[in-house]
Copies of this chain bind each other. A is one copy, B any other.
Amino acid sequence: MPERLVVIGGDAAGMTAASQARRLRGAQDLQIVAVERGSFTSYSACGIPYWIGGVVTGPDALVARTPEVFERDYAITVRLGTEATVIDLDRREVLVRATADGAEDRLGFDSLVIATGASPVRLRVPGAEVTGIYGVQTLDDGVAVRAAVAAGARRAVVIGGGYIGVEMAEAMVQQCLKVTLVEQAPEPMATLDPDMGRLVREAMTGMGIQVRSGERVVGFDTADGRVTGVRTDQGTVPADLVVLGIGVRPNTALAAAAGLPLGVAGALRVDVRGQVLGTPGVWAAGDCVESFDLVSRRPVHVPLGTHANKQGRVVGVNVGGGYATFPGVVRTAASKVCDIEIARTGLLERDARDAGLRYVTATVASTTRAGYFPGAKPITTKLIAEKRTGRLLGAQIVGQEGAAKRIDALAVALWNSMTVEEMTGLDLSYAPPFAPVWDPILIAARKTAEAVEADMVTHPGRH
């Protein structure tokens, strides 16, 4: 009689865990059942804005593996349209319900993987529950937004200027809608410091997006149960369609009801192998878990697909009887809006302050290729380093084509706790089509090292 693994959530984390466990344990040894309340498995949520914008096709192209493929190639059973309603840890079973007909079932498990993901934060303001207001998290959300556009929406308001917000703003422009972005912070792209976010606002404005930053949404105008406008503390913006981009919250009500431990932002607490703290045989991965921030050395909630995949793999190896760990994150992320590429790693200034760290910064404007080379594009690089030690704390890049992916070298430097002084010696690649002879990262490291030194001279002693 084989053991049974039940996976709750059929997207990146859950299905990666399932298929990795299968690689290590055959079907005679381990039965695998995954339940997914939506209509798709293993899709690229990050691709949804590009699908909505018409840059890529969808939804099928965004699905890495269908339930049929999981069944055929992995002997993994997937039940779509099936929601887990209770985790019963004493009986080692999960109660599930079919969303179509409400039929219930019980799935006993030896191992359980919780990969319930996260859901877009909804605003608690008048009118927030009417039709026409969409989060963008699942392929089903994508289907809904595309239908609204096809039905003739002409004016879109995007609330929140994070990654999803700016990407959706661009997608709506590509669909020829009139687009307004409302952001509470002084600048959009609050995943960057405001001085870098300003560069993003300039690019968005140049593309015809109206950016209303420093405005707070206080309610929605509605008619016949549909949204017709967004009311802010400074006025009203007409809207046929509203996209929410104000973050996500882990889907952990189910786990919490089972008494499982929640940490930062309500995310599940797991050990380095992905096992829910103090709960043998119960694992969790993806947007519903907290991660360890290697820079601030604090738990954080960073719901990104890249972590979901890695965590899913780690859990799958461990469920399969192997040994793998997820050491943590340095909060690397990248995006693109219009012709502007955006990337960050490590701490922003406010993150550093929150962690009690004192720091210096330096920002360098340079080009992606040798200045004399055709196609050289602007790139602005900002580094944050700890006072005294000069340890790199974070980096941000805003630039045009070829800019964003350079963040990876900085992410690796951060991972290794390098100081900006040591970074000035880094042997980075140089050729005129790829960089100026002084790579922007090297110049930024030098300027930041000079700032560390200047700070010591200005504030001698142990301030």
B44/A327 in contact, CB under 8 A: no
Find the B residue at minimum CB distance from A346: B427
Q: A47-B432, A409-B412, A411-B429 are in contact. List 13 more A-B contacts (CB 8 A).
A: A46-B437, A57-B372, A304-B430, A305-B430, A333-B429, A333-B431, A334-B434, A341-B433, A402-B405, A405-B406, A408-B428, A408-B429, A408-B441
A411/B428 in contact, CB under 8 A: yes
A343 at the interface (CB under 8 A from B): yes
B437/A306 in contact, CB under 8 A: yes
Residues 266-297 of A contacting B (Cβ, < 8 Å):
none
Which residue in B44, B341, B431 is a CB contact (below 8 Å) of A46?
B431
Find the B residue at minimum CB distance from A304: B430
A425 at the interface (CB under 8 A from B): yes
A416 at the interface (CB under 8 A from B): yes
B428/A306 in contact, CB under 8 A: yes
Which residue in B62, B409, B418 is a CB contact (below 8 Å) of A408?
B409
Residues 344-368 of A contacting B (Cβ, < 8 Å):
345
Which of A55, A372, A411, A427 counts the most B-chain CB atoms under 10 A from its CB? A427
Number of interface residues of A (CB under 8 A): 67
A50/B429 in contact, CB under 8 A: no
The 9 closest A-B pairs by CB, nearest first: A334-B429, A408-B409, A416-B416, A306-B430, A412-B412, A61-B372, A332-B427, A330-B427, A334-B431
Interchain CA distance A19-B331 in the complex, whole Å: 39
Interface 1/0s, chain A 398-412, versus B by CB < 8 A? 000010111111011
